[in-house]
Amino acid sequence: MHDMTLAAARKALSERKISARELVDHHLSAIEKLDGEINSYIVTTPEKAREAAQAADAKLAKGEGGALCGIPLGIKDLFCTDGVQTTAASNILRQFVPPYESTVTHNLLRDDAVFLGKTNLDEFAMGSTNMTSAFGAVTNPWQRDGSSTKLVPGGSSGGSAAAVAAGLALGATGTDTGGSIRQPAAFCGIAGVKPTYGRCSRFGTIAFASSLDQAGPMARNLEDCAILLGSMAGFDPKDSTCVDRPVPRYEDALNRGVKGMRVGIPKEYRPDNLPAEIAALWDQGIAWLREAGAEPVETSLPHTKYGLPTYYIVALAEASSNLARYDGVRFGERVPADSLDALYEATRHAGFGEEVRRRILMGTYVLSSGYYDAYYLRAQKVRTLIQRDFLNAFENVDVILTPTAPSAAFAHNERPTDPVQVYLNDVFTVPASMAGVPALSLPAGLDHAGLPLGLQLIGRYFDEETLFAAGHVMEKAAGFAKRPALHAGNVA
């Protein structure tokens, strides 16, 4: 069962070769054995999971059950889950148990998925390392050849990525604001999809930057992601930014092939200091697509260089506002004080970690009167230019190929002390987020130390299907099969 994909498990379940209960027990025991080292889960819910598996088995026995019947998943702890602790990896919500279910997890439950627990993340999804969680850092299940140095899984969906990579879930939910699905997927050697903004409801997902946040699937391969996204996506009247258009059967797009497809290679994504092995992997990706019948075309996204700075203005402005509600008055932790202002200060100081506080302060600054025009307004204008870049590019190409991240996973203790250096991790993923276009990362190869590297495909608005088609071609060519050092199969 260790190396089973979600699709294979689903087949085995429907053929009754395994039971949902067995599958869930297997994962729960793997978590118990391994997650002490990885810390990918903040909380597990074994009883609920077994109950759900039992219900799934009952449905399977009758030949009923939804598309994910009996499939054990990890849920990023940014999704509110009814009656289950939802912390956003923050002290301020350490004890928070929502009495409601996010739409995305509701959709998964509708399709009879089984939730193993809530996965770790950077606090309030702010980070690219998963080092900012109030529940401790997540360790990447991968290790450099011949070294047991602890590596970061990427962020912010690092817990989800690590759990999937280590065999502690068949799939997981992530959220991506500037690369938080794609970058950890790349660091952990799995696939992850950030759908078009508006494709998945944000209702019940704790907000970081509302105009950018988008839920998406993380799994071993793109087929699994396609299955998961099909369940997660869809119109939700409870989210005004959620788009009312039918959800395609993404699985059907996987084998479309790429014949005649024009693949844009943006010249701006090849900076002088791009590591050689990243550049080489990118060239390899181009070659795979060409061999399968696609036509690589140089394209230009001229405003790419402004992506990161404008992202950090827009995202943090929104974050400073979205996090204002955590003030100790209604829910979450409260630090008592003599006055209301003192209560806010003490609560927010104790409740938020350093990175979150830094971002709130920066976001507050850029929105302040007197600075608004210089920062926020200008960033919004640049954002429009970035969107236009993609629209122009997609007049000539069907999909855009880039690396996912500028490096492989780095060690916990190698984390740059300069926060700006950390922010550079998102340099390739941020522009697609700013534009709201869909993008995915797939595991495409290994670096010199045996660590996974990812390639990113970016598509037109609501054209996830083309991404799946192109990605699947590359996936087959890459034949990525290596397992990480920390894996359920190695401890069983």
Partner 1 sequence: MSYRIEGATGAWEIVVGLEVHAQVISNAKLFSGASAAYGGEPNTHVSLIDAGFPGMLPVINEECVAQAVRTGLGLNAQIHLESRFDRKNYFYADLPQGYQISQFAHPIVGEGQVEIELGDGTTRHIGITRLHLEQDAGKSMHDQDPTRSYIDLNRAGVALMEIVSEPDIRSPEEAGAYLRKLRQILRYLGTCDGNMEEGSMRADVNVSVRKAGEPFRTRCEIKNVNSIRYVMQSIEIEAQRQVEIWEAGGTVDQETRLFDHARGETRSLRNKEDAHDYRYFPDPDLLPLVIERDWVDGLRAALPELPEAKRDRLEKEYQVSRYESGILTAEQAIADFYETVAKDRDPRLAANWMLGDFFGALNRTGRSIENSPVSAEALRELLALISDSTINGKIAKEVLEDMVETGDSPSVIVERKGLRQVTDTSAIEASIRAILDANSDKVTEYRSGKDKLFGFFVGQTMKAMKGKANPAMVNDLLKKLLSE
Could you confirm whether 381 is annotated as catalytic?
no
Q: Decide: is 368 part of the binding site for partner 1 (CB under 8 A).
A: yes
CB 398 → partner 1: shortest distance, Å?
A: 28
CB 79 → partner 1: shortest distance, Å?
A: 8
Q: Is there a contact between 159 and 168 (Cβ–Cβ < 8 Å)? A: no
Q: Measured from the CB atom, is 79 or 428 closer to partner 1?
A: 79
Put the strands of the sheet holding 439-446 in their side by side order: 41-44, 114-119, 72-76, 171-176, 214-219, 191-194, 439-446, 452-459, 399-403, 262-266, 295-299
Degrees (nearest 5) of the Cα angle 99, 78, 413?
A: 145
The token pair at 84 is 């289950």
For residue 56, what are the CA distances in angstroms to 21, 47, 71?
A: 8, 14, 9
Q: Decide: is 331 part of the binding site for partner 1 (CB under 8 A).
A: yes
For partner 1, which stretch binds (CB under 8 A), given 8-16, 62-70, 196-204, 403-411? Answer: 196-204
- Token pair 């409801």 is found at 201
Q: Decide: is 180 part of the binding site for partner 1 (CB under 8 A).
A: no
Q: Is there a contact between 201 and 75 (Cβ–Cβ < 8 Å)? A: no
Query: Which of 134, 188, 317, 430 contacts partner 1 by CB under 8 A?
Result: 317
Q: Decide: is 350 part of the binding site for partner 1 (CB under 8 A).
A: no
Four-point Cα dihedral 278, 394, 474, 402, nearest 10: 10
Q: Measured from the CB atom, is 17 or 349 closer to partner 1?
A: 349
Q: Decide: is 206 part of the binding site for partner 1 (CB under 8 A).
A: yes
CB 194 → partner 1: shortest distance, Å?
A: 17
Q: Decide: is 19 part of the binding site for partner 1 (CB under 8 A).
A: no
Q: Decide: is 376 part of the binding site for partner 1 (CB under 8 A).
A: yes
CB 92 → partner 1: shortest distance, Å?
A: 10
Contacts of 340 (CB under 8 A, 6+ apart): none
Query: Which of 30, 137, 188, 209 contacts partner 1 by CB under 8 A?
Result: 209
Near partner 1 in 233-252, by CB under 8 A: 237-241
219: three-class secondary structure by DSSP? strand
What's at 374, amino acid-wise? A
* CA 441/CA 455 separation, integer angstroms: 5
Q: Is there a contact between 367 and 382 (Cβ–Cβ < 8 Å)? A: no
Q: Is there a contact between 130 and 78 (Cβ–Cβ < 8 Å)? A: no
* CA 319/CA 200 separation, integer angstroms: 20
Pairing of strands 262-266, 295-299: parallel
* CA 73/CA 114 separation, integer angstroms: 6
Radius of gyration of the chain (CA): 21
DSSP state letter for 448: T
Q: Please say whether the dihedral angle defined by the alpha carbons of residues 38, 40, 45 and 51, taken in this order, is positive or negative.
A: negative
The token pair at 218 is 């993380």
Query: Which of 5, 29, 85, 210 contacts partner 1 by CB under 8 A?
Result: 210
CB 80 → partner 1: shortest distance, Å?
A: 5
Q: Measured from the CB atom, is 63 or 99 closer to partner 1?
A: 99
For partner 1, which stretch binds (CB under 8 A), given 165-173, 218-226, 315-323, 457-465? Answer: 315-323
Single out the catalytic residue among 128, 180, 231, 441. 180
For residue 53, what are the CA distances in angstroms to 23, 104, 112, 163, 348?
A: 8, 19, 9, 19, 39
Single out the catalytic residue among 40, 102, 133, 156. 156
Q: Decide: is 318 part of the binding site for partner 1 (CB under 8 A).
A: yes
Could you confirm whether 76 is annotated as catalytic?
yes
Total of chain residues touching partner 1, rule CB under 8 A: 44
Q: Decide: is 367 part of the binding site for partner 1 (CB under 8 A).
A: yes
CB 177 → partner 1: shortest distance, Å?
A: 12
Query: Which of 24, 31, 80, 401 contacts partner 1 by CB under 8 A?
Result: 80
Query: Which of 100, 298, 361, 482 contacts partner 1 by CB under 8 A?
Result: 100
For partner 1, which stretch binds (CB under 8 A), given 56-64, 313-321, 457-465, 472-480? Answer: 313-321
CB 184 → partner 1: shortest distance, Å?
A: 21
Query: Which of 259, 290, 325, 482 contacts partner 1 by CB under 8 A?
Result: 325
Q: Decide: is 324 part of the binding site for partner 1 (CB under 8 A).
A: yes
Could you confirm whether 180 is annotated as catalytic?
yes
CB 167 → partner 1: shortest distance, Å?
A: 29
Query: Which of 102, 139, 180, 425 contacts partner 1 by CB under 8 A?
Result: 102
360: three-class secondary structure by DSSP? helix
By annotation, the residues acting in catalysis are: 76, 156, 180
Q: Given the rule CB under 8 A, which residues bind partner 1?
A: 79-80, 86, 88, 93, 96, 98-100, 102, 202-207, 209-211, 237-241, 317-318, 320-321, 323-325, 327, 329-331, 340-341, 344, 364, 367-369, 372, 376
